[in-house]
Amino acid sequence: MKIFLTGASGFVGKFFCKLAIRNGHFIFAPSRKKKINKNKNIKWLYGDFNKDWEKELSQSDILVHLAAAGVNNSNLDEIFDTNIFKSSELLRQAIKNNCKKWLIISTSSEYGTREKKKYFNFTNNTNRLPETEYGLSKAIFTDVSLSLAKKYKCQARVMRLFSIYGKGENKKRLYPSLLAAINKNKSFMINNPFETRDFTNIEYASKVLLDAINFSEKKFKIFQVWHVSENKPLKIVNFVKKIWEDKKGKNKLFLNRKNKVKFNHISDKNSVWKITNHFY
């Protein structure tokens, strides 16, 4: 399959790109930095993802849209320009060039957070109440995608990521910060210790996304929303303790007890994409 992939240089994009190539797919990958094509199964394209890629989009079987701003504190203008306006232009170009299958990578931040209730989990139909500019921008783009898919008879599948972690993640985030403390034999402060999340490893998430490029289902006509999650929720404090023990941390863990509000960010199991294929 030929895939037009945005965000191939990012945290999730790098893992997805390597896995797709390893499994025999060809990648067209726009980048704002010039890159050398070191693998015959990837063609790096120099320029922003919403540039006129008529030749490449017309040859692509599917658009996988991973590129986004705001995951790691971009400014407001950049968040809305990238996640809504440029992304919408990309879809219009895809339509123009007859690339009408889209895998759009979004975020559970579309939902916002909810104070912990005994049986509350997010479903793909949960009312969205985004609390950040990033979550709001992604929610708006989901609605734009639905509108364009309906109007131009495209197939769009939105994949909302839940708490992805792993090697290559931004150094300021929880998992790499924790590893850095372990490697330097320092103590570690756990913020929001009582929040519960669906922590999902990047390697598993990449397999889910690659599995989801298969649009062969007869019942799938226009639009779907799925969650990307291992669906094994943990309180942040328990996630940190697990990693600390596995990596043999030797100093002390401290809890920031000022934040006693208990939030959860968990997917309902029926909304989670289940992998069907074998990957190499």
Domain 2-165+199-230+267-271 has CATH 3.30.70.270: no
- Give mean pLDDT, residues 252-262: 78
Q: How confident is residue 224, by pLDDT bands cut at 50, 70 and 90?
A: very high
The neighbour count for residue 70, using CB atoms within 10 Å, is 22
End-to-end CA distance of the chain: 16
Q: How confident is residue 194, by pLDDT bands cut at 50, 70 and 90?
A: confident
The Cα–Cα gap between 87 and 104 comes to: 10
* Category of 26 on φ-ψ map: left (φ > 0), alpha (ψ -120 to 50) or beta: beta
pTM above 0.75, yes or no: yes
pLDDT tens across 107-125, in order? Answer: 999 998 877 665 679 999 9
User: How confident is the prediction for the chain on average, in pLDDT?
Assistant: 93
Question: Which H, E and C letters describe the chain, residue by residue?
Answer: CEEEEECCCCHHHHHHHHHHHHCCCEEEEEECCCCCCCCCCEEEEECCCCCCCHHHHHHCCEEEECCCCCCCCCCHHHHHHHHHHHHHHHHHHHHHCCCCEEEEEEEHHHCCCEECCCCCCECCCCCCCCCCHHHHHHHHHHHHHHHHHHHHCCEEEEEEECCEECCCCCCCCHHHHHHHHHHCCCCEEECCCCCEECCEEHHHHHHHHHHCCCCCCCCCCCEEEEEECCCCCEEHHHHHHHHHHHCCCCCCEEECCCCCCCEEECECHHHECCCCCCCC
Q: Where do the structural domains in the chain lie, given as residue ranges? A: 2-165+199-230+267-271, 174-194+233-263
Q: What is the pLDDT of residue 259?
A: 65
Q: What is the pLDDT of residue 279?
A: 77
pLDDT tens across 138-190, in order? Answer: 999 999 999 999 999 999 999 999 999 999 999 999 999 999 999 999 999 99
